[in-house]
Amino acid sequence: MAKKVAFVTGAAQGIGKAIAQRLVHDGFAVAVADFNLEGAQQTATELKQNGQAIAIKVDVSKRDQVFAAIDKTVTELGDLNVVVNNAGVGPTTPIDTITPEQFEKVYSINVGGVYWGIQAAKKAFQKLGHGGKIINASSQAGHVGNPNLALYSGTKFAVRGVTQTAARDLAPLGITVNAYCPGIVKTPMMMDIAHQVGQEAGKDDEWGMQQFSQNIALGRLSEPEDVAACVAYLAGPDSNYMTGQALLIDGGMVFN
């Protein structure tokens, strides 16, 4: 079987790292792309014990950097089949505290990074003469408004909209576009959010996390690997007849 190549952003840690690990396990050569080059290199070194991986520094909010990172992936790994636009930031932003600078930063990364990843993937797939799969990070917070996350939640609703429209635009090229919507995942991002929510209420991190974990039907927080398993499905042939979807992987928090 021909080698498959995946490009994963935000793969130095957390969910992106788990996705990169799972895709290598599934036989992909993986480009670990992150703003944090040292972390990306560390992940790539670990992945190389089980397969092929490279590390690439990229700021996903910068269109030119995303195109250059995808070009580098094709040059070094020889193909491109899957692009996972996973990188994101999640500051807590009570509605009246949002500044133009925060708005610019969070939308540039969480939404801009998805637009640039889609454009660069489309260009590369067309140049390579085949279709491909684009997979974007949304969230349960992109299905229901989460308290104190007005800015973040807005970006994750936007990612669902971008995913649906891109799915329609790119279907004639043999490109599918889907999103994954994790619930509360034990990663550095979620630990930071729990810490901030706890501090604002004069409570500790554990209390902060409990505010998010109360309504999970399956009764536990998510591991990054829970998300990676569903992304592996979106990256593989079993999801070939699926496009424009936003898959909820939240242990049963949001039912729609």
Name the residues that contact ligand BUO, by CB under 6 A: 90, 139-141, 146, 184, 189-190, 193, 212
194 interacts with ligand NAI by CB under 6 A = no
Task: Give the list of residues 6+ apart from residue 255 with CB closer than 8 angstroms, or none.
Answer: none
Ligand-binding site membership of 184 (annotated): yes
Is the CB of residue 141 less than 8 Å from the CB of residue 183?
A: no
Annotated catalytic residue 180: no
Helix or strand or coil: residue 90? coil
The interface partner of residue 146, options being ligand NAI, ligand BUO, none and the CB cut-off 5 to 8 Å by kind, is: ligand BUO
Nearer to ligand BUO, 83 or 189 (CB): 189
Give the residue carrying structure tokens 């991986």.
53
Going edge to edge, which strands form the sheet with 28-34? 53-57, 28-34, 4-9, 82-85, 132-137, 175-182, 246-249
Residues ≥6 apart with Cβ < 8 Å to 102: 91, 93, 151
In sequence order, the β-bridge partners of residue 34 are: 57
Rounded Cα gap, residues 62 and 66, in angstroms: 6
- Please report how close the Cβ of residue 80 comes to ligand BUO at its closest, in angstroms: 27
Considering only 12, 54, 69, 149, the residue that binds ligand NAI (CB under 6 A) is: 12
**In the complex with ligand BUO, which residue's Cβ is closer, 24 or 189?**
189
Decide: is 16 part of the binding site for ligand NAI (CB under 6 A).
yes
In this complex, which beta carbon is closest to ligand NAI, that of residue 24 or of residue 69? Answer: 69
Report the candidate in 183, 185, 187, 209 with the shortest Cα–Cα distance to residue 198. 209
Considering the complex, what minimum distance in angstroms separates the CB of residue 92 from ligand NAI?
13
Residue 182 known to bind ligand:
yes
Annotated binding site: 13-15, 34, 59-60, 86, 152, 156, 182-187
Active-site residues: which are they?
152
**Would you tell me which residues interact with ligand NAI (CB under 6 A)?**
9-10, 12-16, 34-36, 39, 58-61, 86-90, 109, 137, 139, 182, 184-185, 187-190
